[in-house]
Structure 1
Amino acid sequence: MAELNHECGVAAVYHLPDRGVSPLAPPQGVEHTSNLIPRLLLDIQNRGQLAAGMTTFNPHRNQLIDTHKDVGTVTEVFHLNHQDSYRSLMRKYAGRAAIGHVRYATCGKDDKSYAQPFERHHIEKPKWFSFAFNGQLANYPRLRDEILSENDFHLARETDTEVLMHMICHQLSGDRRPEMIEMLTELSLHFDGAYNIVYLNALGNMFVARDPLGIRPLCYAKEGPLFAAASESVALANLGFRESSIKSLHPGEAVIIRDGEFSIQQFTASPNRAHCFFEWIYFANVASTLDDQSVYLTRKRLGEELADVETLEIDEDTIVVPVPDTAKAAADSLAFQLKVPCLEGLIRNRYVGRTFIEGANRADKAKTKYTPLPEVLRGKKVLLVEDTIVRSTTMKVLVSQLKERGGASEVHVRVACPPIIAPCFYGIDMSTISELFAPKFMDNGPLTPEIEVTMAETLGADSLKYLPIEAISRCVGFPKESLCQACIDGKYPTPAGVQLYQIALEKLELGEEENDGRAYDAPLSVTART
């Protein structure tokens, strides 16, 4: 599903003082704990390949905290293919504590100034800090306008990360010296949306915080003196932490490290949950476990649910083909249930950049990215399994390629997700209704077999079948009330999300969306349709 973009990923490490040396620490010593950040970021590279960076803390250098970041993959930014350059970089930025980030832009430009972490220099140590942010503030327009309403204030970037930096600075302005937990509590009163934050200051104090709805995942582990956190559990497991040590940070909680002391504290109430279901069905690494729910087992159950609603007549020429790579678990499961082969009829060229990052002309890039295998496909009735259909550009190309180049006699598209009908305002790059495939056919009504027939004809497929919406909670393992399913049911978990959706509907009805862009870019004072 190369048309859908994620937001970002965060990581943090800290070797606590006076507690011996962790066996997981780098061989160079405790003061090189920061060397673990590139390893963590590599394992969450799936969450963003536009930029990467880290900030490290070392009390024995003039730059108490120092930041290295750039546009590019983790390998490119940290020179992992050039050992001398990599070692030099690690020596320069060596420290016992560090935070890191991988970025894909849901807002803002694609240049180095937007790469994270964001560092704010100051002569006072408590006011000299760096942070990285994963998510999206749905009330960013309001926060931005409030800041710019002050004549002496200016924002240089079109990103909610800079707004967040301003608000942290405001908490530390003048003679204020709030504890980190107090600062988080105050910030939570102003934020609406998804936000995971990793923060490090020039005193060597750190916090790792998850928003009260838990929209985006955030995992941590602590064994002896070593603490680490990352957006996904697989990064911590690959670092060497035991499975029993890896946990999901609860929504509204923060790991606080102050004066070398570790604690977990609740910074705001969390009566409700709104975990993004897309994390399990597409975004997260299949080896991750998020909020105690396995990504792989979720995708396996998606395939089982698809099999339960399959009506196609199965014969000896029927095969299942996954769209690489994240649809494979669902495809394998579907094939097993239907007792037909699951074959690699599409080969992904892993040296072609992800099409959503490469920018325009997705169709040409999809042709370059996927190669159909005629020896597998020729004369076959293909059940093509995909994670979801967002804009449909890639799917149209794949169906055409399977038939024209692969020689498939029939292509039946099976989607392991319900139709995407609404934008996301919490960190996934599908921001307008008009760009989405399904709403053009559904007209705010339910999905019917007749609509699926029309959709299939548009895609050039012989048939199309979506996963029923009620299957999502069963597959993920949470009640629907604990999931954010706004993009498939239009029910947003926060007030700003509700309002932005109403603005998007209004702009679509007035024919303004194509010209005016995302509802996210509009002031929240715009009158929304009720």
Structure 2
Amino acid sequence: MVMCGILGIIGKGTVIEDVVTGLLTIQHRGQDAAGGISYKGQFNIKKGLGLVRDVFNKKNIARLQGSVAIGHVRYPTAGTYEATEAQPFYVNMPYGIALAHNGNIINYGELKRYLEDEEFRYINSKCDAELLLNVFAAQLLRLGKFSTDNLFTSIDKLFDTVQGSYSVISIIGKKGFLAFRDPHGFKPLIFGKKGNAFAFASESVALDVLGYDIIGDVQPGEAIFIDNERALHRKKIRNAIHTPCIFEWVYFARPDSVIDGISVYEARYKLGRRLAEDIINRNIKPDVVIPIPDTSRVAALALAEEIGISYREGLIKNRYIGRTFIMAKQSERKNAVRMKLNPIRTAISGKKVLLVDDSIVRGNTSKEIINLIRAAGAREIYFASYSPPLRYPCIYGIDMQTKVEFIAKENPIEKIRREIGCDELIYQSMDGLLSSLQLGEDKEFRFFCTSCFDGNYPTKVNENIFKEIEHDRVACKSSIH
């Protein structure tokens, strides 16, 4: 399970309405399914396929009583496209535990066999959140009487066995609220306080909208437990090199979020300025800069300002065509692109157009957009990616999981240029990417997970992991279609 968003609150009175509101602010992190669970003496759960607004209504929200609740939005790249795969999940033993996570467990098969053979726990779905929940529950049950120390010890044991990325929020019945982050901190998790209530979310924008004062990020390898008296207990359980996923700033997060102390907006703005240096050095002289909506707007604006030319919204996005609709109803990517994007001819015709996008994965979408712009009368088309060439599968949580998906895997840039049909192709350098994210308050050098660009994976990997992921990927696509 990857490319998701999570939000949890422990407060006063019923909190599910705020959880649902918070999920709406991080809807971009997952549009295929949503869910929520609350606790008031017993668990009440609602989850289903579709957007947050499709899953929740006044009637089912009224049923989710309790002063503690967690929610989730899902984009399936592992598991299948079914309501049973949606999060959160819960188990009865011990105490009653509900859990949702953002990330991807890469040793899923190994852990599933262990749970079934050694712990006699059956995993009913293909969602790794259910597996993660059962690993945690088994560790906690083994330690006996509940205590904060035993809780943290169980997470320490979990860190020993679970490989991959995971930012987790959990409700422990009659005990309190738990959050923890894997030792490398691949996926974001931030928390804040409002009065006597605490909220945890994938992005700071959710806390902003809900009126919480941000305390900070859950640190890599850290666990935070809030008991029923609202006392906060936190412990740094593991120390490892912090390698957050760099694609959060490149593509995934909202521009008004701050993740691990780095403003997404400022990072993308600086990425655009760095890209402008390459445009100038190559003596490329466009008449107009046009972003490919939505992610690339900030970088495109910065680039246009830096080189002193016009910025135009030359592609208009149809916001009412969902990803699922396109996947289910359109067999040709050409039609899918035309359904989503329409060019403004007056901004394009007769001009040398510089298109800016966050990345190029397969190249199919880029090619069709270039065809659209050329058909709208562009004299020349330059295409700029404000991230470097993507060449390696992501095993930690972005929807790029097989080697065959990358046009840049084996192809030189000139061949990619010819394939997608532009007159010039410009990629951001790795140095430009990394330097643009050195924006934290401490100004110290930061490490990131850049494995999709350079193949350097922060955790141990082997070929079997890639084979398993590719097998699951094919199965997932088959179930969706």
Does TM, scored on the shorter chain, surpass 0.5?
yes
Give runs of aligned pairs for residues 68-467 of structure 1, distance below 5 A: 68-79=46-57, 86=58, 88-121=59-92, 126-149=94-117, 154-173=122-141, 176-178=144-146, 179-242=150-213, 245-310=214-279, 311-313=281-283, 318-354=287-323, 358=327, 361-404=332-375, 406-441=376-411, 451-467=412-428
Q: What are the superposed Cα offsets for residues 125-157 of structure 1, whole Å, 9 maximum, x if unpaired?
A: x43121101100122232223334459554332
Whole-Å separation in 2 of the counterparts to 1:519 and 1:138: 16
Shift of 1:171: 2.1
**Per-residue Cα deviation, 1:202-260 (whole angstroms, up to 9, x for no partner):** 21411011111111111100132011110000000011124xx3421111112201232
Label 1:73 to 1:204 Cα distance change in 2 as closer, same or farther (>3 A). farther
> 1:368-397 deviations in whole A, cap 9, x for unaligned?
100011111001101100000011111011
Please provide the CA RMSD for this pair. 2.5
Q: Distance in 1 between the 2:2 and 2:130 partners?
A: 19
1:482 is aligned to 447
Change (3 A) 1:278 1:422: same
1:403/1:409 contact within 8 Å kept: yes
Separation in 2, partners of 1:364, 1:43: 29
* Displacement of 1:266: 2.0
Structure 1 CA distance for aligned equivalents of residues 134 and 203 of structure 2? 28
Which runs of structure 2 are paired with 1:56-71 in the superposition (5 Å)?
A: 56-59=38-41, 64-71=42-49
Q: Is the 8 A contact 1:423 1:432 kept in 2?
A: yes
Shift of 1:519: 11
Q: Please say if 1:37 is aligned against 2:16.
A: no
TM-superposition CA deviations, 1:294-313 (whole Å, max 9, x none) = 00000000111111111454
**Cα distance in structure 2, aligned partners of 1:164 and 1:408:** 51
Distance of aligned partners of 1:455 and 1:356 in 2 relative to their CA distance in 1, 3 Å threshold: farther
Aligned ranges 1:487-526 → 2 under 5 Å: 487-495=452-460, 498-500=461-463, 504=466
8 Å contact kept, 2:143–2:154: no
- Percent of pairs identical after alignment? 34
**Alignment correspondent of 1:82:** none
**Alignment partners' CA distance in 2, 1:464 and 1:233:** 34
CA contact (8 A) 1:180 1:207 kept: no
The answer to whether the Cα contact below 8 Å between 1:56 and 1:98 also exists between their aligned partners in 2 is: yes
Q: Distance in 2 between matches of 1:141 and 1:358?
A: 28
Tell me if 1:9 matches 2:5: yes
- Structure 2: stretches of 5+ with no match in the other structure: 477-481
What residue in structure 2 maps to residue 26 of structure 1? none
C-alpha separation between the residues in 1 aligned to 2:340 and 2:366?
A: 13
Q: Secondary structure at the match of 2:223?
A: strand
Q: 1:473: which partner in 2?
A: 434
Give the Cα–Cα distance (whole angstroms) in 1 for the partners of residues 143 and 387 of structure 2: 52
The answer to whether the 8 Å contact 2:417/2:423 transfers is yes
Deviation of 1:261 (Å): 3.4
Amino acid at match of 2:37: T
Distance 2:326 2:70 in 1: 24
**Cα 1:413–1:129 shift into 2, 3 Å:** same
1:517–1:68 Cα change, 3 Å: closer
Is residue 44–residue 65 contact of structure 2 (8 Å, CA) maintained in 1? no
Deviation, 1:494, is: 0.4
Q: Deviations over 1:178-210 (max 9, x none)?
A: 532222111111111111111102214110111
Provide the TM-score with structure 2 as the length reference: 0.91
Q: Which residue of 2 aligns with 1:444?
A: none
SS of aligned partner of 1:382: strand
For 1:197, give the aligned amino acid. Answer: V
Q: Counterparts of 1:453 and 1:425 in 2: how far apart (Å)?
A: 28
Judging changes above 3 Å, is the alpha-carbon distance between structure 1 residues 371 and 70 closer, same or farther for their aligned structure 2 residues?
Answer: same
| Deviation readout 1:265-301 (Å, 9 max, x if unpaired) | 2252223111111001110000000111100000000
The structural deviation recorded for 1:459 is: 0.3
Deviation at 1:425, TM superposition (A): 0.6
Change (3 A) 1:424 1:513: closer
Aligned counterparts of 1:89 and 1:344: Cα–Cα separation in 2: 40
Counterpart of 2:416, as a letter, is M
Mapped to 2, the partners of 1:37 and 1:362 lie a distance apart of 35
Q: State the match for 1:21 in structure 2.
A: none
8 A Cα contact 1:355 1:366, kept in partner:
no
